Amino acid sequence: MNTTKWRWLSDQVISQLQAGVQFPDLTDTRYRAVRFLARGGMGTVWLAEDTVLGRTVALKVLEVDLGAGEWMARLLREAMVLAQLEHPGIVPVHDAGTLPDGKSFYCMKFVQGQTLDQNLPATLSERLRLLQRVAEPLAFAHSRGIIHRDLKPANIMVGPFGEVLIMDWGLAKIANEALRRSGPSTATTQERDAAKEPPPSAVPVTGHGKILGTPGYMAPEQERGDSDQTDERADVYALGAILKFMLAGDQSKKESNLNPLFAICGKAMAAQPGERYLSVQELSDDVEKYLRGDPITAYREDVIERTLRLYARHRTAVVLVVAYLIMRVLFILFSRR
Amino acid sequence: MMNKILLGIILGAILGIFDGLTAWFTPEVRSQLLGIVIGSTIKGVIAGVLIGVFARKVHSLALGILFGLSVGLLLAFAIAQMQHGHYFAIMLPGGMVGLIVGYATQKYGAMPVKQRG
């Protein structure tokens, strides 16, 4: 029997209706819920009004109750990670705590825009510039000892003025020991079973031997659940996968030589972390070289490709010199008549 | 990347030498080839300096090309005046050289590093 004919409400509408039933209890808080925004890995995100400062904010509220210690700790940990990362490409956190109904929450800047998977720039160069802008906050986070571990187009928000923000740091790994110690304790909660089934798209866990990330964007060491071996090169892998996603939808295949870009993807997504770029900055540098028309480290071009690249880079100069030589030859031919 | 004035001088000199050498294909002036090459090189260097200085002051590809073309044509006109003829044969390549140097100094020449403090 065909059951789809009974689905006259879209998944989005159903999701919003469900969220409406579970409106967060903001009684006696400074916030007033405005509307449901999205459902994340751990909870729901709400558009709210900060009644004290009179500004619009986003509230991420844990779906489960107070008993779910691991999830609570994780949400607060995400807030703490974000609070450590003051960068224009990372959503700032304003507040964190517990609501009257016992649910944990944190308050962050409300970011308007669309995620990368919803709105991919039209031209190849725009996409590559955007990828570079994603690499910037990521490199900053790595310099602070924080690895995102769930980088994907759905977690990259592009604002109306082209601003790029990396979202959803819920699976981030804190490699920096000092930061880890200053954060909420997860030592005891790690040993407990998760109170709730994790969402199918992203399987978050903390300890060694458990899988986390999103298939297709998850490095092999993450897929194996090898948390100890997961370092910033896991984000390099994900960034390579995002570049691959960008190239898959590109319409300029006939105009540009995309082989170097696919080589960048290949190097970034190597099975062995040691064969990848050492950092997202290195990957971004190779993309910059491609955009400038310089040779990249990940790809050895042949003579024809090199000639075409140099021609493409210096087209006007080549045309001028050739025009000059043709003019000279014509002068010589006419002077001999 | 080379500085704009140096790039202008080198490019002007190379194109000037090349420009002068093409006189070899004109049998009636072949005997004066050395003088023509030297004169053409000096003209190229002067054009290169002027265009290079302009490129340091004005950052515009269109204006750079226009200035280069003007300088090239003007210097070539002066030489054609001294030769009492061959205006087209001297001014067209001269203008072209100026145009190429104007483009190259704007596009490829490096700006001097500004000191802070």
Residues of A with CB below 8 A from B93's CB? 324, 327-328, 331
pLDDT attached to residue A249: 67
Residue A182 has pLDDT above 70, yes or no: no
Q: Which residues on chain A are in Cβ contact (under 8 Å) with B89?
A: 331, 335
The structure tokens listed for A41 are 């890995």
Mean pLDDT value of segment A135-160: 92
CB-nearest to B100 from A320, A328, A336 is A320
The pLDDT of residue A305: 87
What average pLDDT does the segment A309-316 reach? 84
Q: Is A125:A258 a contact under the CB 8 Å cutoff? A: no
Res A1: pLDDT: 43
φ and ψ at A90, to 5 degrees? -130, 130
> Which residues of chain B have a CB within 8 Å of the CB of A316?
103, 107
For position B62, what pLDDT does the model report?
A: 93
% of residues, chain B, pLDDT over 90? 48
Answer yes or no: do B22 and A324 touch at CB < 8 A: no
In chain A, residues 303-332 whose CB comes closer than 8 Å to chain B: 316-317, 320-321, 323-324, 327-328, 331-332
Is A272 within 8 Å of chain B by CB?
no
CA angle at A111 for the pair A269 and A56, rounded to the nearest 5°: 155
**Mean pLDDT of all residues in chain B?**
87
What is the rounded CA–CA span in Å between residue B48 and residue B44? 6
Residue of A nearest to B23 (CA): A332
Residue B68 has pLDDT above 90, yes or no: yes
- What does the pLDDT look like over A222-231, one tens digit per residue? 888 777 778 8
Instruction: Considering only the beta carbons, identify the residue of B25, B100, B108 that sits closest to A324.
Output: B100
| Plot region of A221 (φ>0 → left; ψ -120 to 50 → alpha; else → beta) | alpha
More confident residue, A152 or A14: A152
Three-class SS of chain B = CCEHHHHHHHHHHHHHHHHHHHHHHCHHHHHHHHHHHHHHHHHHHHHHHHHHHHHHHCCCHHHHHHHHHHHHHHHHHHHHHHHCCCHHHHHHHHHHHHHHHHHHHHHCCECCCCCCC
> Is the CB of A331 less than 8 angstroms away from the CB of B93?
yes
Q: Taking a C-beta distance cutoff of 8 angstroms, is the pair A144, A179 a contact?
A: yes
Catalytic residue numbers of A read 150
CB count in 10 Å sphere of residue B20 = 21
Contact A328 B22 (CB under 8 A): yes
Name the residue with higher pLDDT: A326 or A23. Answer: A326
- Side-chain-facing half-sphere of A198: CA atoms under 13 Å: 20
Residue A125 has pLDDT above 70, yes or no: yes
- Work out the burial of residue A34: count CB atoms within 10 Å of its CB; fewer than 13 is exposed, 13-18 middle, 19 or more buried: middle
ipTM (interface pTM): 0.76
Q: Which of A25-34, A133-142, B3-12, B79-88 has the lowest mean pLDDT?
A: B79-88
Q: How many residues does chain A have?
A: 337
Q: How confident is the model at residue B93 (pLDDT cuts 50, 70, 90)?
A: confident
B102 or A80, which is more confident?
Answer: B102
Residue among A118, A119, A117, A125 at smallest CA distance from A252: A125
Optimal mutation site among B91, B96, B99, B105, interface A, most CBs of chain A within 10 A: B96
Does pLDDT of A275 surpass 70?
yes
Q: What's the confidence (pLDDT) of residue B115?
A: 57
Confidence of residue A301 (pLDDT cuts 50, 70, 90): confident
Q: A14-23, A62-71, A187-196, B17-26 — which is least confidently predicted?
A: A187-196
User: B97 contacts in A (CB within 8 Å)?
Assistant: 324
Say whether A189 sits in a helix, a strand or coil.
helix
Residue pairs spanning A and B at CB distance below 8 A: 34
Residue pair A234/A274 in contact by the 8 Å Cβ criterion: no
The model's confidence at residue A9, banded by pLDDT at 50, 70 and 90, is: low
Please say if the pLDDT value at position A205 is more than 50: no
Cα of B21 to nearest chain A Cα, Å? 11
